[in-house]
Amino acid sequence: MKIKTPLFIVFEGIDGAGKSTQANLLFSFCRAISPAVLLQEPTNSQYGKLLRKMLKGEIPGTRDELLDLFIKDRAYDVEHNITPSLSKGYVVIVDRYFYSTAAYQAGDGIKPSDIVRMNIERGFPVPDRVYFIDIEPAIALERIHRRSGDNKEIFETLQTLETIRKNYLSIADSTFAVIQGSLGVEDMFQEVLKDFEKHFVTG
């Protein structure tokens, strides 16, 4: 069994979809076969740390400020993590990428597709596959509440998550594989793995 490398995989979904769990499961599968790295955005760069504080509501941030920080943080991620790992022939798995920025930061006249284009024009690499864990926002919120109680981020409301889900679906293209987030963790991973092996595994 061999993975076609270098390979760039992204996991996306609204908060509570279960994408981080699936990213970890695929990373564990890949690293048993091939050199692999698991990354997450926002990163731990100075921009990423500031973003996390804004997302938690610890400090104020406008939509434009958030968008600018996401771009700067992604530039750091691409330069220091993603591109070097791909150049070494690794499987690179990223938990959230510019599709998250597009889905979450769109509004006030900025369409999700505008933000995707903005990122591509910056030269950020396009993934080989995006696993979009699609889930009803009401179910996602129940999961968030069980996990975090009242300690929610600024986007974790039903109406906001419904809008974000629609934004995601509006930018889904041929690189997207839509995985039903209402499935159990293992069943979900089997769906991811079936698609992954079909497209990227030989032998």
The identity of residue 149, as a single letter, is G
pLDDT of residue 143: 77
- Token digits of residue 128: 């080989």
**What does the pLDDT look like over 78-102, one tens digit per residue?**
999 999 999 999 999 999 999 999 9
Taking phi first (over 0 means left), then psi (-120 to 50 degrees means alpha), and beta for anything else, what does residue 10 get?
beta
Contacts of 194 (CB under 8 A, 6+ apart): none
pLDDT of residue 181: 93
**Residue 75 falls inside a structural domain:** no
Query: Residue 123 sits in a domain of what CATH number?
Result: 3.40.50.300
**Residue 52 falls inside a structural domain:** no
pLDDT of residue 77: 98
**Residue 65 falls inside a structural domain:** no
**Residue 70 falls inside a structural domain:** no
pLDDT above 90 coverage of the chain, percent: 80
**Residue 116 falls inside a structural domain:** yes
Say whether pLDDT at 175 is over 90.
yes
163, 102 Cβ separation under 8 angstroms: no
How many domains would you assign to the chain?
Answer: 1
Q: Among the listed ranges 25-29, 154-158, 169-173, which one has the minimum average pLDDT value?
A: 154-158
**What does the pLDDT look like over 62-75, one tens digit per residue?**
888 999 999 999 99
**What does the pLDDT look like over 136-161, one tens digit per residue?**
988 888 877 776 655 555 566 788 89
Q: Which domain holds residue 124?
A: 2-41+88-202
pLDDT of residue 15: 86
**Residue 109 falls inside a structural domain:** yes
**Residue 122 falls inside a structural domain:** yes
135, 12 Cβ separation under 8 angstroms: no
Cα distance between residue 122 and residue 113, in whole Å: 14
pLDDT of residue 148: 63
pLDDT of residue 152: 53
More confident residue, 107 or 148: 107
- What's the predicted TM-score (pTM) here? 0.92
Q: What is the average pLDDT value for the chain, to the nearest integer?
A: 93
**What does the pLDDT look like over 5-17, one tens digit per residue?**
999 999 999 988 9
**What does the pLDDT look like over 179-199, one tens digit per residue?**
999 999 999 999 999 999 999
